[in-house]
Structure 1
Amino acid sequence: MAIPQQVACSAKSHPGPSDESSDIRIHFGISDEEKAAVRNRGKQVLQALKKLGLNVMKIPVVSVLVSGGGLRAAIACQGVLSELSRVGILDMVTYVAGVSGSTWCMASLFTQLDGWTDLEKAEKELKRRLQEDSWDLSVALDGLCDAAERDDYSLTDFWSYSVVYYLTKELLDTCPSHMRHQSVMGSVPYPIFATIDKDLKSGEREKTLSEHGPGLQMLDDHLPASWFEFTPDWAGYSTLGFSTPGAYVSTTHCGSKFKGGKLIQEKPERDFSYLRALCGSALADMKTILKTIKDFFWKFIHDSSTQLKMLLTDPEGVTLKNTMDQLFNLVYVFLTNGDCLPIMKNLHRIMAATGSKHFSEATALINKITELRGQPSQDQQRQFIQELLEKSLNEDLLEQSSAPSFLKFLWKTINCLFSWTWGTTNNFLYEYGDTEYKLLTKKKNMYLMDAGMAINSAYPLILPPVRNTEIILSFDFSEGDPSETIKATEKYCKACDIPFPPVDGAKLDQEAKAPSDLYIFEGENAPVVMHFPLFNKVNCGSKEVIKQRHNTYATFRLTKYSDAEVCQLLEDSKANVRNNKDYIFMKIGDLAQAP
């Protein structure tokens, strides 16, 4: 299928290694830079196919999809890529697209000089890091204090330096645009990192989360504009077929401020540590997320790190720390439907004891709340707490503090928790006129998050006609039903009129607890989909072992994996490739030799 001609909305050139455009692009299909990278990659693929002795008639586009699943997915992704490389299949792959935890592995490989070319070495480094390195609270706190100076700080920053750093034992200061030098030569598969725009959800699209409180906000799987991708060259809302063009900005300038299509304030490009948190914020389990944030917040506020020692030398600093602690507890209790009144009374006592004029408005408001007769409604409580947060800390207090950056970090985290704000990113389409995405042009910020909230694999970003993929190798590391991504994608494609092979949902449901290690889906004018559940009856042997594996490698497990557990997970993921390599070679060969 031919790619339609690009419709560009600017006279400036696309960004290249030494030419970083600040323009917005509205176009169908893929960018010129990606086309060049794919052509160069095709030369590598052709050589790999010829080594098999095939009479190559064309170079099939093979895409590898790696799903979400926290650290389990990151380790399994490494195992899959290592084995694909060892058996010679990775050399035939054009795209690798990742969601959530798998992006932790993908990003790590791009920060290593030979990460993609020596995957065995990268695997050894992963095992060493998980066993020998540790999460350094003072390093994390330094990063959070720096991040809090940004006007787009959100819970994603907190997640980056807490959960993702804690699990991976790795901080990555390299930026996504730095991938260009590898991808443009075609020496590695072209990478795609998937996220979702939170506001583009089903139903109440223009309502903010603060209007109705946080909760499980599942995104509309059928809404094409909700998928937001990062590549080495461009970041933006992906093309949907030939009817809806994509909207993109240079990856270098994603996060900078635009208005009316013009760059008005350039911001530093976010690094891979932040992108990994953006892709892997795992927002499906509200209760678990809140508890995880609470535990890490407690570590930050009660640990005797350098910043805290500085803060505790000042009596007023002690009060401010205690105030922040109580405000966090107040927000947490409210979000978990607990009794806020005792915390408010304790907060009043702490503030009043200082005699500080800075707390006079806050203490007066607490008096007003506690003197109310009857129980305030949920909406009234939310309004009171929002007002209390605004009155409890001001610029004068920050300037007088001996650790203003630390207090700013605490303050911003509490506010973001209360409003449940994730993935705040300056909207490059703000007040931009030449686009079909009229909803997007109205907001100054977009709020990006884990794409697993829609489909736990990046099918919408590689399906034809976007990138003309002919074979999809889908490695599913999900914790629940391993066929859910397939069924959700089929539903998505039917709604969007995208070719996708038929799926026998009844059979998949019947085998959900003990799936096979490979399912092949084929259909007319549709890509061949080869789907590999991580834990299955071939590499595990029984339902009991499959269940045990899921329990051992739970998504929100925050305790260290032993070396044996890491090795077992790597072996399980490798077995799915090793045991089915002949089927993969056969399907690729059939397409390569087809006229």
Structure 2
Amino acid sequence: MSHTPGAGRLYSGHNTNCDLRVGYLVEEEEAFNYELTVKVIKAQNIHGTDVVTKPDCYVCLWLPTSLSDRKRTKTVWNSREPVWNEIFHFRIHSQVKNILELSMFDEDVGTSDDHLFTVSYDVGNVPLNENVVENFSLNKEFQEKLQVEFTLVVIPESQKKVTTNGVLVCPEMVALQVEVPKQNKAFFKNKTELALSVQGSFEGSHNIPLQPDSTSQLNSHETAVFHFSRDLGTELNASVCRVYSPFDVTFSSETENGSNETVIPLNLISPMENEINVQIPVKEEKPLDAQIRLNECPEKLDVRLGFDLCDKEKIFLQKRQRLVGNTLKKVLQLEEDLVGEEIPVVAVMATGGGVRAMTSLYSHLYGLQNMGLLDCVTYIASASGSTWTTTKLYEDPNWSQNNLSEAINNAKKHMTRSKINCFSVSKLKYYRKALQQAAQDGQKTSFTDLWGLILESMLNNKKNESKLSDQQAALENGQNPLPIYLAINVKQNKISTLDFKEWCEFTPYEVGLLKYGAFIRTEDFWSEFFMGRLMKKHPEPRICFLQGLWGNVFSLNLVDTWYLTTQVDTFWDTWIKDGIKDIDEENIRVRRESARTKTSLFTPASTLSDFCKGVLTNRPIDGEQHNFLRGLYLHKDYDQQPQFSIWKDSSLDTFPNTLTPLADNLCLVDAGYFINASFPPLLHQERKVDVIISFDYTLDTPLQAVEQTCNYCTTQGIGFPKVSLSEEERKTHKECYVFNDEDNDSCPTVLHFPLVNDTFQKFKEPGVLRSPEEMSDGDVDVTGAFSPYFLTNFTYSESDFDRLLKLTQYNLANNKELILDALRTAVQRRKARNRSSKIHQTQAQKKT
């Protein structure tokens, strides 16, 4: 173990200016600590995997929300009817979802033990102050069963309040300070260390050097600090280790009772007490004196828990609303001003598509500007290649108020130059140096970061020092739309993107996971969090690293590749789906009303199936980011929270031990792995988007993303218009589709612009036919196998670049009236809704 940077320093997180207990749907709930007693009694008719011999069974117990190590019974050798009668204790939290996993293994000598099965059991099934005996049915054919007894009691004087948003729970955090007086070091003749560890703490472990040397007088070498949950209880483990050369093995001193460690239960220590003196036995030496003390940590969190918009976005909306209202009055030629809730929210949605998407989004925004409609837009959501446009535009705080032709000419300069220099020796040296600096800044560097640097070179040809939070300057007066960038959080191994993905949005203000209602300041992305507090501040990443993340096309696994190319999502189920089934008996189902989570039996796959699953689902090239949910817990009723349920879309959402709060890292990848669109942030209920102008830059399937979004939203219960297309419409793509739901005001109107070449072949401008000499200018190949706009092409000719610009601008201008009609309808709906609201308010006032 090595000394952790920052040891000896109490929590000093960067508290934000938002109080999490005012607004944001955050509440304080009454909570208790429970003691759970689990008695593993016996098993029946266990066959195991050995054909010749009887199994040698033991049971492992894992309850990750208790901060305890995995526990296990003794091994009962050569028996199909093993009896253990072993008792285990866990300290748990009443408002947390506590799922105990009981795994049975067949112990083998000389080879790895065989995993027979795992039972996942919701502790909420256990009534208080009662003994409950569960007989888990493992295999009905062989009558295999596991018998376990549970008891749950309240720990006296443990009542307190916890902060929660209904999905996540943040218990009380405390800091343990361990200090070794300097004079203790004189007792050790050899180079020695004090090894300290606290299970479930942010720091994990510390080593304090005890042998005097040139650095031993530093306070940081004499004090160690551990941050952990006060409510769940844990232990301090301490041992003195003699250290030899780097090639020698470190060994611990052994005490008289044969133990290598001194164990101190920390739940017995109160933060109100003064320092406590402890003695750590040392073999053949005088005991080592140390002082320990518990300190309370600030209650204010650095992770915003809640499903509302942040204060900065609300302030932006107020400023942007005035500009949008004035612009709509002008373009729609309204007689009266639009005020307050009468002003609709208009958003631009852009798909991915490499530099094809980047170029086309420049063109579409330029087209909206020329039509006087750009100032009607409140949000611009982008994913993958389209993010390369918005990140560049927002370097100019007034980009939408300036003519975009200059920005387009600059993009054209980079798109038409050779990219060979991006892989020169000098560039490779620059990439290596930049990655080393990122690692020093605390980032878990990967190929994704290298890809971001390569993008920076191809799109800018120089180092870009800007950061995402710098874009706040472009929003200060509401002068530009608010940009939203989209990624998805996936599992790195053993799980396909189809089986698990979580929407993650980035704005200049915040980065957040929609499903959990958890957000951090954009400046703090890349930093380390624990239990909602900022523990280690690292520099915010340069924008190129985020561009590489949002367009991370290298984290595909084989299942993702199959889905993206065929859109068939069931072919590999036989190979990669785990054997999981509900094994609740009737008596458990009666009690499940409070627990809700089913008791599940997981049966491991065969060696061949497990190998195939690994080949198909592992991501050979991916990136990791620090998980800002680390140390938070899922609420006992998390899956009943309406906002969580909206985004709950995978089977893993019913298995809380597998969800992101218990993960060490995030794995953020291109959202196009699931749906190549950036609709989800715009469908956030609090953003109240009325009209979405959807720009789809897909070549071969220009309606696929909007259809997938419709199907997804229908399944999730999210307001989105029905996308119904005839066979003729699927064969012959139009320049613009209008999807709306006149009977549902919560559904936005979607104007979908696919990348197609239809009337542009005959018209150079809306209503202006081409001359015979100009007909070749309308020949823009956006469908053929030899199209110059294929995904991996990063260099266009000037003519190809210009043709793509003219095509996309024409398609937009040719359908201007459809956009204006949608805006008029949105204004009428808003006014009608506003009148209805005022009538209800008046009636309510009269009643009171």
Please report the TM-score for the alignment, with normalisation by the length of structure 2. Answer: 0.48
State how 1:289-438 maps to structure 2 within 5 Å: 420-433=620-633, 436=638, 438=656
State the distance in 1 between where 2:460 and 2:511 align: 25
Question: How far apart are the structure 1 equivalents of 2:611 and 2:684?
Answer: 49
In 2, the alpha carbon distance for the partners of 1:432 and 1:544 equals 53
Deviations 1:138-157 (Å, cap 9, x if unpaired)?
23531333314515011211
Give the structure 2 partner of residue 82 of structure 1. 366
Determine which of 3, 10, 35 is the counterpart of 2:314.
Answer: 35
1:518-551 CA-to-partner distances (Å, cap 9, x unmatched) read 0001102211110000124233579994423872
Does structure 1 residue 231 correspond to structure 2 residue 507?
Answer: yes
Amino acid at match of 1:483: L
SS in 2 for 1:576: helix
Establish whether residue 123 from structure 1 lines up as the match of residue 408 from structure 2: yes
Match for residue 714 of structure 2? 494
Q: Which sections of structure 2, spanning at least 5 residues, go unmatched?
A: 1-21, 29-161, 164-299, 562-606, 639-643, 645-655, 763-777, 832-848
Q: 1:204-253 CA distances to partner (integer Å, 9 max, x unpaired)?
A: xxxx42x58xxxx4435xx7x710010011101126xxxxx521111111
Q: Identify the residue that residue 792 of structure 2 maps to in structure 1.
A: 556
1:277 aligns with 2:277: no
Q: Does 1:64 align with 2:359?
A: no
C-alpha contact (below 8 Å) 2:511/2:525 kept by paired residues: yes
Asked if 1:158 corresponds to 2:378, the answer is no
Q: Distance in 2 between matches of 1:466 and 1:539?
A: 39
Please state how far the C-alpha of 1:456 moved relative to its aligned partner: 1.1
- Per the alignment, residue 430 of structure 2 pairs with 142
Write out per-residue CA displacement over residues 438-468 of structure 1, whole angstroms, 9 at most, x where no aligned residue.
5211111101010111211111110151411
Q: Which moved more, 1:71-80 or 1:576-585?
A: 576-585
Q: Aligned-residue CA RMSD in angstroms?
A: 3.4
1:85 & 1:549 partners in 2: Cα distance? 33
Q: Report the counterpart of residue 324 of structure 1 in structure 2.
A: none
Whole-angstrom distance in 2 between the partners of 1:9 and 1:173: 40
Kept after mapping to 1: 8 A contact 2:526/2:625: yes
Which letter does structure 2 place at the counterpart of 1:455?
A: I
User: In structure 2, what residue type is equivalent to 1:143?
Assistant: Y
**Superimposed CA distance per residue, residues 6-30 of structure 1 (whole angstroms, 9 cap, x where no aligned partner):** 2247999xxxxxxxx9710111231
Q: CA deviation at 1:590?
A: 2.8
CA gap 1:460/1:169 in 2 versus in 1, 3 angstroms: same
Alignment coverage as a number of residue pairs: 442
Percent identity over paired residues? 28
CA distance in 2, matches of 1:164, 1:97: 21
SS in 2 for 1:552: coil
What does residue range 409-558 of structure 1 map to in structure 2 within 5 Å?
A: 420-433=620-633, 436=638, 438=656, 439-505=659-725, 507=726, 510-523=728-741, 524-525=743-744, 526-540=747-761, 545-548=781-784, 551-558=787-794
Give the partner amino acid of 2:676.
N
For 2:802, the equivalent position in structure 1 comes to 567
Secondary structure at the counterpart of residue 470 of structure 1: strand
Q: How far is the alpha carbon of 1:571 from its aligned partner?
A: 1.2
CA 1:266/1:112 → structure 2, altered by over 3 Å: closer, same or farther?
Answer: same
Amino acid of the structure 2 residue aligned with 1:442? L
Q: Among 370, 376, 396, which residue is 1:92 paired with? A: 376
The answer to whether the Cα contact below 8 Å between 2:308 and 2:686 also exists between their aligned partners in 1 is yes
Query: Which letter maps to 1:532?
Result: F
1:186 and 1:236 map into 2 onto residues whose CA distance is 22
Letter of the structure 2 residue corresponding to residue 495 of structure 1: T
CA shift for structure 1 position 5? 4.9
Taking the aligned partners of 1:91 and 1:544, their CA distance within structure 2 comes to 30
SS, match of residue 465 in structure 2: coil
Identify if the C-alpha distance between structure 1 residues 380 and 587 changes in structure 2 by more than 3 Å, giving closer, same or farther.
closer
Query: 1:283 deviation in Å?
Result: 4.5
CA deviations over 1:333-378 (Å, ceiling 9, x no partner): xxxxxxxxxxxxxxxxxxxxxxxxxxxxxxxxxxxxxxxxxxx999
Q: Is the 8 A contact 1:429 1:441 kept in 2?
A: yes
Higher radius of gyration, 1 or 2:
2
The reply on whether 1:178 has 2:413 as its aligned counterpart is: no
Residues 26 and 548 of structure 1, relative CA distance in 2, 3 Å threshold: same
- Judging changes above 3 Å, is the alpha-carbon distance between structure 1 residues 420 and 115 closer, same or farther for their aligned structure 2 residues? farther
Query: Residue 484 and residue 431 in structure 1: after superposition, are their counterparts in 2 closer, same or farther (change >3 A)?
Result: same
Q: Which has the higher contact order (CA 8 A, sep 6+)?
A: 1
CA distance in 1, matches of 2:414, 2:681: 31
Give 3-state SS (helix, strand or coil) of 2:401's partner.
Answer: coil
Separation in 1, partners of 2:348, 2:323: 16
Is 1:590 the counterpart of 2:825? The answer is yes
Spell out, residue by residue over 1:64-86, the C-alpha distance to the aligned partner (whole angstroms, 9 max, x if none): 00110001000001000111111
Cα offsets for 1:108-149 (capped at 9, x unmatched): 111235433322221121112323575443235313333145
TM-score, length basis structure 1: 0.68
Q: 1:193 to 1:484 in 2, by over 3 A?
A: same
Tell me the distance in 2 between the aligned counterparts of 1:581 and 1:476: 17
Instruction: State the Cα deviation string for residues 33-70 of structure 1 (Å, max 9, x = none).
Output: 11111111111101112223213551100010011000
Change (3 A) 1:566 1:29: same
Structure 1's 512 and 172: CA in aligned 2 closer, same or farther, altered over 3 A?
Answer: farther
Deviations 1:384-424 (A, max 9, x none): xxxxxxxxxxxxxxxxxxxxxxxxxxxxxxxxxx9624231
**For residues 554 and 113 of structure 1, do their structure 2 counterparts lie closer, same or farther at Cα, with a shift above 3 Å needed?**
same
Asked whether the equivalents of residues 234 and 251 of structure 1 are also in contact (C-alpha less than 8 Å), the reply is yes
More strand by share: 2
Distance 1:253 1:464 in 2: 23
Indicate how the Cα distance of structure 1 residues 588 and 76 shifts in structure 2: closer, same or farther if over 3 A, else same.
same
Distance 1:187 1:496, change over 3 A: same
Q: Distance in 2 between matches of 1:280 and 1:171?
A: 18
SS at match of 1:572: helix
Change in CA separation of 1:543 and 1:109 when aligned onto 2, cut-off 3 Å? closer
The DSSP-based 3-state class of the residue aligned with 2:759 is: coil
Alignment partners' CA distance in 1, 2:688 and 2:790: 35
Moved >6 Å (runs of 4+): 9-12, 284-287, 376-383, 541-544
Structure 1 271/160 Cα, relative in aligned 2: closer, same or farther at 3 Å? same
For structure 1, the residue ranges without an aligned partner over 5 or more in a row are 13-20, 200-207, 240-244, 291-375, 384-417
Query: Offset at 1:180?
Result: 0.9
Q: Which of 371, 374, 392 is the aligned partner of 1:108? A: 392
